[in-house]
A and B are shown apart, each in its own frame.
Chain A
Amino acid sequence: MSTELKTVEGITKESTQAMIDEVLELYPEKGKKKRAAHLAPNDQASGSACVKSNKKTVPGVMSARGCAYAGAKGVVWGPIRDMVHVSHGPVGCGWYSWGTRRNLMSGITGVNSFPMQFTSDFQEKDVVYGGDKKLATLLQEAKDLFPLAKGISVLSECPVGLIGDDINQVAKVAAKELDIPVIPCNCEGFRGVSQSLGHHISNDTIRDYIIETREFPEPIGPYDIALIGEYNIGGDAWSTKPLLEECGFNVKAVWTGDGEMDRIAATHQVKLNVIHCYRSMNYMCKVMEEKYGIPWIELNFFGPTKIRESLRKLAELFDDNIKAKVEAVIAKYDPQMQAIIDEYKPRLDGKKVMLYVGGLRPRHTINAYEDLGMTCVGSGYEFAHTDDYDRTASEMPDATVVYDDASEIEMEHFAHILKPDLIGSGIKEKYLFQKMAIPFRQMHSWDYSGPYHGYKGFPIFARDIDMAVNSPTWKLVEAPF
């Protein structure tokens, strides 16, 4: 890793702190005190977190955060394509998270792939009398109507935990009767402070109910790996999985993008876990390391520099056969990527980007922008922990602003001062900044584009960033009269 200090002209620790102090002045005393710990200038050399994180959201601020259910349904469980995922509780949660993450799936919908909204649609009487009976009935109905489903997950919404239903018992009985795995996931939205606990709870349920329940019929080979924390947003896994295969690996399972339950359940047999989204899946990597001795490695598939670095880091763990293949892959794609850089960099060089995303991309995409000549002038996460911020410090230029669980007013203020040429964040932020005539890309959903991962993704990423920054439409915002 480079130890060279990256700086941005005009940005010093003092200027960043002054900007932070200004925005904190907008808060009442108590709110100011709480938020102060979550905003700080980056200390690149330290390589460690400069902000507090994973704390309760301050009430009354416009936070972008979701809940534990969102982390469980939307992130970890939802992408497993051959399971029925039941949103257990009132109709809303499942409806809002239906098709809104872009974790694409293979298969035939309703036959062997289930990107649908299954819910117990709780009514008043279910809240009063409990929903366990209803759950038992609906599990049977799901099995009858979707006989090729490999399993069913039951994802609890708030009321279920509050009224004291025992979904674990219902699931246990149903699993026996239906002869398929029925996974109870107690991921009620009120648990924890963000999506993050939902990831953790889901990892735990995979540990308790899934892993080691299947075995690959074929013998295990030296290059058998699993790709963890790849959710196939806009087809990302359809870029990264073939790339790893081209490098000589057998990708036995993807967690969980376009994922298959059986393969996830047999992952305890692989030789190495390759993790992309550390925040949402590090827990199971650690479990598999402790329980089965499977090592794991964090990679970054955004932009040619990081891809190259990652593939070499990966090859280091393997023999000359893999090393040779990896070098051949790099040699094959580097010129293609250079051509992309040559095309777009002249139009993007020196442009500034501010990021605010979930738990990975605020650090993982920084270098991809740098590949295009851009500079990151601010970054932060909705639901990261200290270990994520530790990993962020060295990626971001020194003294640039880091914000944790940023509120809209903070983002707005920073954007006013920093005047970025692009903001990469989510749907709730998109239109606010576009009204300010700041180009914007949704960096959760790739703004209905993608993939952005791997060599297949970078040309699309570069095209999209250029399109956003250099669209002639921005010039029309100011009327001539």
Chain B
Amino acid sequence: MANNLGLTVKPVTETPESEVKRVAAWINTEEYKEKNFARQALVINPAHACQPLGAELAAHGFEGSLPFVHGSQGCASYYRSTLNRHFREPAPAVSDAMTEDGAVFGGQNNLHEGLENSYKLYKPKMISVFTSCMPEIIGDDLTAFIKNARLKGFVPEDLPIPYANTPSFNGSHIHGYDAMLLAILQTLTNGKKVEGRCTGKLNLLPGFDANTGNIREYKRILEAFGIPYTVLADISDVFDSPNDGTYRPYPGGTKLEDAADSVNGKVTLALGTYSTAKTYGWLKDNYSGKHASIPMPFGIAKTDAFLLKLSELTGKPIPAALKEERGRAVDLMTDAHQYIHGKKFAVYGDPDYLLGLVSFLLEVGAKPTHVLCSKGTKKLEKELQALLDSSPFGKEGKVYINKDLWHLRSLVMTEPVDAIIGDTHGKFAARDAKVPLFRFGFPIFDRVNLHREPLIGYQGVMNMMATICNKFIDVTDETCDERHFEMMR
């Protein structure tokens, strides 16, 4: 009886090799899959993070905006390092370093000191506050705290301080993105609506998307149309800044006056119906002009719909250059379809990405077989199912909502696929299943430059097609026998 668990002292043992072999085989079986899917409480290898991570991404997307975590400094370090690793860029953000005494006295003192210090040190034009677990549990009143901070002179009266409640025990990073974006727009547009004024611009909400290439692609498309625009929130220059020997803490982002004036916009278009749901719900009642919310433009059909919507909302014709680009994307698809047709895919990711990736796969004749979202809703399940039902290539597909990557592992081991599409975290399942992993998601910790490669629009179609088909051809070249190692593919 050596310890307070009352366990007896046992000899040090090595697991016999035969046992290891037996279990290694067992975890690949149908029997194990059933047991695995019967899990009620344990989550293993989830493909989603918590709200504040998304909140930080949104906060970075505005000019001079300093993301501010009301909570423990450890939380802030986790979010920052995730963004650092994915973008390979700085992610300057602060926290008010709440500790145990905050649980007793509340976090007001920390928040006030934090606002005073961060304002003076990092000279932000806006401090975007969001919460991690601790203040959410103890019920800190951010409205009152921030009002008091102004009254006591810790920050200037006119410094915008949007704040969002982003509890980690609810939703995922996409919901935190939405909550922070909403708070920023509500704060910046407050009192800015002018009757009769129209900026003539289109407001584009890209949603939670950690691909700077996608944001640049939206801008290129809008420029091709000749549509003046404001991207809400524009992370492209923030997380894709040039190296010229100077560090700039705020290298880009949507200009605050543009964001403020966005309320007088001509058109507002939200992409990503899941990660902008709350924001869109609010702005459609509060923004001038026309509004629409459509799925992210992955694949030909959804890009067509995007361009048609742009044309419809702005009255501008679709530029010939984009029509040609469509033709080139389709040309690649017809040229290369043989390398992807009928291939089975396991696909997982955030809802908006997932809807886009599945429709892209269906339109090239690939079979999305396991479609998994580790944080989703019934609505998403229905929408994904409807998408699968719309195509003969979706017949074998099955949707798994609120399942994790350990479930996915069971799926790919018992019902094999040719490839997995997801983020870096899928590499373990992909290795076990001996199939390629295509990193069309977030985060990407183990490959360079992919966050700069657009996946949306016709250009995105070409990128995804080339990446997938060339990888399959590589696999053939690497695995075929000598007799079948050919010059042409």
Contact = CB atoms under 8 A, between A and B. Distances in A.
A65 interface: yes
A110 B13 CA distance: 19
Contacts of A436: 245-247
Contacts of B3: 208-213
A435 interface: yes
Contacts of A64: 77
B395 to A, nearest CB: 31
B60 interface: no
Contacts of B475: none
Given A116-B45, A159-B133, A175-B5, A58 B117 contact: yes
B99 A193 contact: yes
B46 A215 contact: no
Interface in B384-424: 406, 409
A330 to B, nearest CB: 32
Contacts of A426: 81
A118 B95 CA distance: 26
B89 A124 contact: no
A100 B86 CA distance: 12
A436 to B, nearest CB: 5
B344 interface: no
A95 B115 CA distance: 28
A41 B406 CA distance: 51
Interface residues of A, number: 107
Contact of B81 (A30, A163, A428): A428
B102 interface: yes
A428 B336 CA distance: 41
**Interface hub of B3, B82, B118, B169 (most chain A Cβ within 10 A):** B169
A470 interface: no
Contacts of B46: 91, 95, 117, 119, 121
B116 A216 contact: no
A112 B50 contact: no
B36 interface: yes
Nearest to A97: B78
Residue among B2, B19, B115 with the most chain A CB within 10 A?
Answer: B2
A63 interface: yes
A338 interface: no
Contacts of A432: 90, 92, 247
A217 interface: yes
B12 A263 contact: yes
B99 A56 contact: yes
Interface string A187-203: 00111110100000000
B149 to A, nearest CB: 11
Contacts of A97: 78
Contacts of A431: 84, 88-90
Contacts of B44: 116-119, 145
A407 interface: yes
Interface in B309-356: none
Contacts of B4: 208-209
Interface in B65-111: 68, 72-82, 84-85, 88-100, 102-103, 110-111
Interface stretch (A133-141, A282-290, A321-329, A368-376): A133-141
A468 interface: no
Max count, chain A CB within 10 A of own CB: residue among B23, B78, B119, B170: B78
B170 A91 contact: no
Contact of A159 (B5, B36, B137): B137
Given A27-B120, A60-B115, A431-B88, A217 B100 contact: no
A92 B73 contact: no
A120 B99 contact: no
Interface stretch (A1-9, A66-74, A294-302, A309-317): A66-74
A65 B12 contact: no
A60 B122 CA distance: 9
Contacts of B193: none
Contacts of B74: 65-70, 189, 195
B113 to A, nearest CB: 4
A111 B24 contact: yes
A56 B97 contact: yes
A117 B45 contact: yes
B11 interface: yes
B478 interface: no
Interface of A: 26-28, 30-31, 56-70, 82, 86, 89-93, 95-100, 108-112, 116-124, 126-127, 134-135, 137-138, 141-142, 144-145, 147-148, 157-159, 162-163, 172, 175-176, 181-182, 189-193, 195, 208-217, 262-263, 265-266, 407-409, 412, 426-428, 430-437, 477-479
